Amino acid sequence: MVRILIADDDEDIRRLLTVLLTDGGYQVIQAADGLQAVELFDDRIDLVVLDMMMPGLTGLEACEAIRKSSPVPILFLTAKGQEYDKIFGFSAGADDYLVKPFHASELLARIKAMLRRYREYGGRRSAETGQPAITLGGLSIDTEALRVSVDGEEKALTATEYRVLLLLCETPGKVFSAENIYESVWGERYYDSSNNTIMVHIRKLREKIERDPGNPRYLKTVWGMGYKADRDA
């Protein structure tokens, strides 16, 4: 059974989430704040739902702590719906974002989509097999073992980051608009505000795979058009 860790300082919200997720066939582990979420998290957890604003350790801080050891999908569930709040959430390592109040059907749909992407990425990956299928300069993507390395050093990516990188690198030189990337990776309709989501994920990818993120070698910005993987990297 899929295990989901939820963290919210509002007991009523925790109770509601537990009912919704249990009815959806998931096993739920509850945390009353960010610190408890970090303490309860282990490699048996398949997905995490975090409230952004909690006393003690915030959802952002809990997300960053979990990200240090795991690419597990993380969903922010919060009353803060401003665009800069979403940017902060994605910058901390979240995969998706849902604003309170929410519809039960949307919450379950988001969770199913995140779990599907995570499974496609490999989830708890097995040992590496075979040779990398895609190589651009020192960047290698092993599409069987679902591993990314740069100059022989493996890079820890989230499932969403991996899918963005793979999309661009499968056809190096091709320019993908923010709309192309968002609808291909997230599988949802693109809105103007979605561009910020893409920008944050590209920035996080560059921080992980580029020697100089300010002067990227692999992921290039094509001003006014989108992004591409440089075939001559």
Instruction: Spell out the domain ranges in the chain.
Output: 3-121, 133-229
Binning pLDDT at 50, 70 and 90, where does residue 132 land? very low
CATH superfamily of 3-121: Response regulator (3.40.50.2300)
- DSSP secondary structure of 154-210: EE---HHHHHHHHHHHHSTT--B-HHHHHHHHT-S---TTHHHHHHHHHHHHHHHH-
> Which amino acid does the sequence have at 161?
E
- What pLDDT score was predicted for residue 212? 94
d(CA 50, CA 160): 18
pLDDT, tens digit, 9 for 90 and up, residues 100-120? 888 899 899 989 988 987 887
**Joined tokens for residue 170:** 């499968």
Between 56-70, 125-139, 148-162, the lowest mean confidence (pLDDT) is in 125-139
Residue 203 CB partners (closer than 8 Å, separation 6+): 91, 213
- DSSP secondary structure of 88-133: HHHHHT-SEEEESS--HHHHHHHHHHHHHHHHHHTSS-----S--S
Contact between 41 and 63 under an 8 Å Cβ cutoff? The reply is: no
d(CA 108, CA 96): 13
Phi first, then psi: what are they for 172, rounded to 5°?
-60, 140
Is the per-residue pLDDT at 130 higher than 50?
Answer: no
**Full-prediction pTM beyond 0.85?**
no
CA distances from 140 to 20, 88, 169, 217 (A): 41, 29, 10, 13
| Residue owning tokens 């295990």 | 3
Q: Which residues in 10-38 are b (16+ Cβ under 10 Å) and which e?
A: eeebbebbbebbeeeebebbbbbbbbbbb
Q: Nearest CA to 173 among 215, 218, 224?
A: 218
Binning pLDDT at 50, 70 and 90, where does residue 121 land? low
pLDDT, tens digit, 9 for 90 and up, residues 164-173? 999 999 899 9
- What pLDDT score was predicted for residue 226? 95
Fold observed for domain 133-229: Arc Repressor Mutant, subunit A (1.10.10)
**Joined tokens for residue 32:** 């009353």
Phi first, then psi: what are they for 76, rounded to 5°?
-90, 130
- What pLDDT score was predicted for residue 83? 64
- What pLDDT score was predicted for residue 125? 41
